[in-house]
Amino acid sequence: MTDLASFLAQQLPLTEDTVTWQSIHMQFHVTSYLSRELPPLDYITSVRGVILREDQVLAVRDPESIHILPGGRREKGETLLQTLERELLEETGWTIHPPYLLGFLHFHHLTPKPANYLYPYADFLQLVYTARANIYITGARRTDDYELDAFPHPIADIAALHLTAGELAYLAAAQAIYSA
């Protein structure tokens, strides 16, 4: 049994979904987990966050969807938190207060491994943190990337975004942390 399989066997799945990334023609089985335990680092390709600002959550629009998990790929030499901070600044323009680990997303490829694929295959993980938005830095958000827009969205109107069950579960967990 791999270290990932051993780790996952100790975790309780929260939601499951099939996701297609149209832009790169890949399909995945995605399982969401709430966990304060850090998974094996070798499988963590990206770090994301549910970012709250008063009674709003930061949402990101890309060519395929609107979601509330801004973040992205780790770069060589970065810590997990450095990745989160850099990606949030690039995608949303916001800095954050110290984050809390909510859990992780487990992606299992349902399509064949592409030629020259540089990331773990057939399974990889994305960590999910939550944090409060801190300071908006004008001009920090990259406008030449995949993300088209980032905006605060009222949590009371969250149904309008048509989020996945996993996103809604992470939002509820984030709200519980900050309401305690």
DSSP symbol at 146: S
Half-sphere exposure in the Cβ direction for 161 (13 Å, CA): 27
Greatest Cα-to-Cα distance within the chain, rounded to the nearest angstrom: 48
Q: How much is the pTM?
A: 0.94
Distances (CA, A) of 64 to 20, 22, 85, 145, 146: 10, 8, 24, 13, 10
pLDDT of amino acid 117: 86
CATH number at residue 66: 3.90.79.10
Place of tokens 């499988």: 43
Strands 94-96 and 100-109: unpaired
CA 5/CA 162 separation, integer angstroms: 31
Identify any residues that bridge with 49 across adjacent strands, giving them in sequence order. Answer: 129
Residue 8: phi and psi, rounded to 5, are: -65, -30
How many domains does the chain contain in total?
A: 1
**Can you give the residue range of the structural domain that contains 116?**
3-179
How close are the terminal C-alpha atoms of the chain, in Å? Answer: 38
The secondary structure element, H or E, covering residue 95 is strand 94-96
Sign of CA dihedral 50, 53, 60, 92: negative
Q: In this structure, what token pair is assigned to residue 161?
A: 């975004």
180 residues of the chain, pLDDT tens digit each: 689 999 999 999 999 999 888 777 899 999 999 999 999 999 999 999 999 999 999 999 998 899 999 999 999 999 999 999 999 999 999 999 999 999 999 999 999 998 888 889 999 999 999 999 999 999 888 877 778 899 999 999 999 999 999 999 999 999 999 997
